[in-house]
Amino acid sequence: MLNAIGGQHFAKTLDITPLKVAYGEVTLKMPVQPKVFQQLGYVHGGAITSLLDTATVMCSVTLIRDDESTLTTELKVNFLGPGEGEYILGTARTIKDGGKLIIMEAEATAVFADGSTRDVAHMTTTYIRLKRPQQR
Amino acid sequence: MLNAIGGQHFAKTLDITPLKVAYGEVTLKMPVQPKVFQQLGYVHGGAITSLLDTATVMCSVTLIRDDESTLTTELKVNFLGPGEGEYILGTARTIKDGGKLIIMEAEATAVFADGSTRDVAHMTTTYIRLKRPQQR
Amino acid sequence: MLNAIGGQHFAKTLDITPLKVAYGEVTLKMPVQPKVFQQLGYVHGGAITSLLDTATVMCSVTLIRDDESTLTTELKVNFLGPGEGEYILGTARTIKDGGKLIIMEAEATAVFADGSTRDVAHMTTTYIRLKRPQQR
Amino acid sequence: MLNAIGGQHFAKTLDITPLKVAYGEVTLKMPVQPKVFQQLGYVHGGAITSLLDTATVMCSVTLIRDDESTLTTELKVNFLGPGEGEYILGTARTIKDGGKLIIMEAEATAVFADGSTRDVAHMTTTYIRLKRPQQR
């Protein structure tokens, strides 16, 4: 399961690595580094969203059968504070595991060198279950 | 104004380039390439969101005074189709230019080699006006 | 089709009436009256949302077959200005009419006694197609 | 504080009553009755949203000073199950109490005659702090 990130080129571009992948719950880590900065020197909101969306897609995959896949249908992010520190933690958990739709929530947390933390973002998102794995 | 993307490290990581930057309206272009793919070989929803958020931040900047800056407070994306083709266009336009908040909408469109297009995503977002430029 | 509002008890509670119901496009009207006010004397955001959600459910119904029904899976509203004037217009239009999901956008507009108008709210929403009519 | 609902005409129209109003946390109750039904005989998504928005506005009021007021700027609801049972509980809690914006989340839960419960909806929302009470 920890290899699920293997095929995720974009997650690799962001240097995202998994810390925990369990049934209905995923935690990932993304380093704070210049290549993900916006114009003010903080992590770009799009990179934060990418971390959270990567966490929720992996979370959705823990819930489905081998002959299914999932696709994001919508996501909404509230930004709570600047993306800074040493790295950003992205955690996803399941709100509803339905027959057709999976609803999850995810949180981004800045972790500083001294171990202190601060809220960065909160996301809710809907995934749809597809009946067979999609491959391009 | 077209240089506004200059300080956007993350936009450069995604090879985003501006096509049009006008008062309250911005169009950007992001190539479809492996480094932004998700596990199925399409452009990652987070990269699509990053394109749209980059378009809206630039759009918000066209609306403010020199002694102001803006910050995303929330965004919501509906995904309409796969991120594929030659490149993705991201266009932003203003819904409300308020004294405290700026509300915009943005669309992502896939452009194929033969010039045909397909809807990829629709976003709404809120930015807050800040009284002076923020610099880290 | 204009009778579709017939079974909508809540729409009647709000005195919502249809002005236009066409394929993929609906306009409704809700009077501004004390029973829908919040604490400041404007139309409650929940009543605005109810108007828009009633418009989008009717809009979704114009798109489906007789053996289908639809259900709201999510909605997001940006509030643009106070709910005031003589009445509020709610208009819905289709963004994507997909095989599984229908994505729409809707706008609420305040109409004043002198005929002038002002933006009140903007909504995006997702409906799921169900294979047969649901009845409680 | 429990009287805060006093001026809320729309909340009265929906027969919403407060169960708990504490600093940064509010629980309200709305009966399941025909006047809030949609076409399928369940509680209208707009009425659910109204319950949650009423809970969050009251929650925001517990956080501000006497010379301030608050206004909803955006809300997003994910619907998790049908609005049915004896009544719907709406609970709001604070995600971020910021100097300019207040971000909250709220949940709607159906309570049945036998005391069992089921998730109905999940909302995230942003309120803006205003420097003085607004009155129409």
Q: Is residue C130 over pLDDT 70?
A: yes
pLDDT band at C108 (very low <50, low <70, confident <90, very high): very high
What's the pLDDT band for A2 if we cut at 50, 70, 90? very low
Q: What is the pTM of this model?
A: 0.94
Helix (H, G, I), strand (E, B) or coil at B42: coil
Tell me the percentage of chain C whose pLDDT exceeds 70.
92
Residue B2 has pLDDT above 60, yes or no: no
The shortest CB-CB distance from B10 to any of A35, A79, A136 is to A35
Residue ranges in chain D assigned as alpha helix (H):
9-13, 45-61
Minimum distance, in Å, between the CA of residue B37 and any CA atom of chain A: 5
Name the phi and psi angles at A3, rounded to 5: -85, -5
What value does the mean pLDDT of chain B take?
A: 93
> What is the C-alpha separation between A10 and A133, in angstroms, rounded?
19
Q: Do A124 and D122 touch (CB under 8 A)?
A: yes
User: In CATH, what is the architecture of A2-130?
Assistant: Roll (3.10)
User: Residue C35 corresponds to which amino acid?
Assistant: K
Quote the pLDDT of residue B136.
Answer: 52
Average pLDDT of the residues of chain C: 93
Asked if residue C14 has pLDDT above 50, the reply is yes
- Consecutive H or E run containing C11: helix C9-13
Residue C5 has pLDDT above 70, yes or no: no
User: Does the pLDDT at position B3 exceed 90?
Assistant: no
A126 to chain C, any CB pair closer than 8 A? The answer is yes
Q: Which residues pair with A18 in a beta bridge?
A: A28
User: What's the gap in Å between the CA of C12 and the closest CA on chain B?
Assistant: 30
- Which of A40, A43, A54 comes nearest B135 by C-beta? A40
The pLDDT-based confidence of D3 (bands split at 50, 70, 90) is very low
Token readout for B105 is 């909408």
What's the pLDDT tens digit per position in B5-35?
556 799 999 999 999 999 999 999 999 999 9
Of all residues in chain B, the one with the smallest CA distance to D130 is: B100
Neighbouring residues of C120: CB distance < 8 A, sequence distance ≥ 6: C43, C48, C79, C80, C81, C82, C83, C88, C108, C109, C110
**Count of other CB atoms within 10 angstroms of residue B18:** 19
A126/D78 CB distance under 8 A: yes
What is the least distance, in Å, from the CA of D95 to any CA of chain A? 9
Q: Kindly state whether C126 is in contact with chain A, defined as any CB-CB distance less than 8 angstroms.
A: yes
Is residue B52 scored above 50 in pLDDT?
A: yes
Nearest-Cα distance to chain A for C73, in Å, is 9
Band (D136; pLDDT cuts 50, 70, 90)? low
CB contact under 8 A, D72 and C45: yes
Per-residue pLDDT tens digits for B78-110: 999 999 999 999 999 999 999 999 999 999 999
Residues 55-84 in C contacting A (C-alpha not used; CB under 8 Å): 73-74, 76
ipTM above 0.95, yes or no: no
Averaged pLDDT for residues A116-132: 96
pLDDT for the residue C3: 43
CB contact under 8 A, D57 and C73: no
Name C103's Cβ contacts closer than 8 Å, sequence gap at least 6: B78, B80, B122, C94, C95, C96, C124, C125, C126, C127
Q: Six-digit token pair at A99?
A: 């027959």
Res D39: pLDDT = 81
Read off the tokens for C7.
């079974």
- pLDDT beyond 50 at A93: yes
- Helical residues (DSSP H) of chain A, grouped into ranges: 9-13, 45-61
More confident residue, A31 or A1: A31
Put simply, the chain C residues between 86 and 115 with a CB less than 8 A from any chain B CB are 95-96, 98, 103, 105
